[in-house]
């Protein structure tokens, strides 16, 4: 039986992935994709967590499955654009349904969320089981993703110049859009996340800001699902901000700290997967869990020792 922890080979884990130019490019693209997914999800996830909507990311990540299937069936193509359109529509429609159930029915927010995303996900599973064999949908890939296959996907080319696989290009664009939107609308997002009464007095359109944030969230999830799947992407939405919050209380510091955490997740997850011979996306989430636990233990010890010090009063 295969041991849970394989024998650790330093050369195979840390040296072999960069032995040749092709190996360097291949594995570098995997790590870059992991970094971009962690960064974009972490930045948008900071405000999702602030608004106590962490499960909204889980809901949308599950709800895009029927949209993916519908896009492929309607356009009879597995190209990125039809899938992207279908998934975005499903994610936004899921958000609208949750909001409608909360305001128009006696359902509590958690019940509305659970009812909506399980219904969407069940519909997606049914569609995949009924139509997947006709259009060759890999349900396991949609659910769990396979970041290790990113270098095999179609490249973005302009003339004779190749810019790498299209998922990386899409994540670069999404990351830039998120950074720009957070810079431009930081004040509106911050105020509406903490104090709705103040937001109304300042004339901020709460509904528009909410749906704009949900749109960004849906775009991020749809762009990331091919790398980490619709299940694991929710971890990247939650872990960076919650880990950073152990050390920082100000939102700008938490957002900035998402950058080094994304590097740790992607690089650490790659090498962990190399050693354990397991899913790279799953290993990245395990590294995120370890970072969270480490931050918790460090701050707990710091608070313990600070309480032992004599009070200045």
Q: What is the mean pLDDT of residues 78-99?
A: 78
Q: What is the pLDDT of residue 293?
A: 95
Q: Return mean pLDDT, the chain.
A: 82
Q: What is the mean pLDDT of residues 277-295?
A: 91
Tens-place pLDDT, residues 17-63: 998 999 999 999 999 999 999 999 999 989 988 888 777 777 777 77
- How many Cβ atoms sit within 10 Å of the Cβ of residue 3? 6
pLDDT category of residue 105 using cuts at 50, 70 and 90: confident
* % of residues, the chain, pLDDT over 70: 87
Q: What is the pLDDT of residue 205?
A: 85
Rg (CA), the chain: 21
pLDDT category of residue 78 using cuts at 50, 70 and 90: low
> Alpha helices, DSSP H only, in 52-106?
54-75, 80-104
Tens-place pLDDT, residues 173-228: 999 999 999 999 898 888 888 887 888 888 888 888 888 888 888 888 878 876 67
Q: Structure tokens of 194?
A: 């903490």
Is a pLDDT exceeding 90 seen at residue 306? no
pLDDT category of residue 141 using cuts at 50, 70 and 90: low
58-61 contact pairs (CB < 8 A, 24+): 58/117, 58/234, 59/94, 59/95, 59/98, 59/113, 59/116, 59/117, 59/120, 60/91, 60/94, 60/95, 60/117, 60/214, 60/217, 60/218, 60/221, 61/221, 61/225, 61/230, 61/231, 61/233, 61/234
Q: What is the pLDDT of residue 131?
A: 66
Q: What is the pLDDT of residue 268?
A: 95
By the 8 A CB rule, do 43 and 171 touch?
no
Is a pLDDT exceeding 80 seen at residue 163? no
Q: What is the pLDDT of residue 39?
A: 93
Q: What is the pLDDT of residue 257?
A: 94
Is a pLDDT exceeding 60 seen at residue 312? no
Higher-confidence position of 35 and 75: 35
The region of weakest confidence among 123-127, 168-172, 247-251, 304-308 is 304-308
* % of residues, the chain, pLDDT over 90: 26
Q: How far is CA 161 from CA 25, 157, 207, in A?
A: 16, 6, 43
Secondary structure of residue 227 in the 3-state scheme: helix
Q: What is the pLDDT of residue 136?
A: 58
Q: What is the pLDDT of residue 297?
A: 92
Mind listing the domains of the chain with CATH numbers?
Answer: 21-149+165-297 (1.10.3470.10)
Beta bridge partners of 165: 155
By the 8 A CB rule, do 281 and 146 touch?
yes
Q: What is the pLDDT of residue 42?
A: 92
Can you give the pTM of this predicted structure?
0.85
């Amino acid at each position: 039986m295969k041991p849970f922890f394989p024998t650790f080979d330093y050369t195979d884990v840390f040296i072999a992935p960069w032995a040749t130019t092709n190996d360097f490019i291949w594995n570098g693209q995997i790590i870059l994709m992991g970094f971009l997914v962690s960064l974009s999800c972490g930045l948008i996830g900071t405000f999702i967590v602030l608004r106590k909507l962490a499960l909204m990311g889980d809901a949308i990540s599950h709800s895009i499955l029927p949209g993916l299937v519908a896009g492929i069936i309607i356009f009879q193509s597995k190209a990125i654009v039809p899938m992207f359109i279908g998934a975005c529509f499903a994610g936004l429609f899921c958000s609208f349904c949750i909001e409608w159930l909360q305001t128009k029915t006696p359902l509590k927010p958690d019940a509305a969320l659970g009812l909506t995303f399980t219904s969407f996900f069940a519909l997606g599973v049914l569609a995949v089981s009924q139509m997947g064999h006709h259009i060759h949908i890999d349900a396991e890939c949609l659910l769990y993703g396979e970041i290790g296959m990113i270098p095999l996907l179609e490249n973005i080319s302009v003339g004779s110049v190749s810019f790498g696989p299209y998922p990386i290009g899409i994540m670069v664009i999404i990351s830039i859009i998120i950074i720009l939107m957070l810079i431009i609308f930081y004040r509106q997002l911050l105020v509406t996340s903490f104090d709705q009464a103040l937001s109304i007095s300042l004339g901020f359109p709460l509904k528009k800001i909410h749906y704009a944030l949900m749109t960004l969230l849906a775009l991020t999830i749809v762009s990331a699902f091919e790398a980490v799947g619709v299940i694991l992407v929710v971890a990247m939405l939650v872990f960076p901000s919650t880990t950073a919050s152990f050390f920082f209380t100000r939102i700008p510091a938490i957002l900035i700290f998402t950058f080094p955490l994304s590097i740790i997740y992607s690089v650490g997850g790659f090498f962990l997967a190399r050693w354990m011979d397991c899913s790279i996306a799953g290993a990245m989430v395990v590294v995120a869990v370890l970072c969270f636990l480490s931050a918790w233990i460090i701050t707990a010890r710091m608070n313990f020792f600070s309480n032992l010090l004599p009070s200045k009063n």
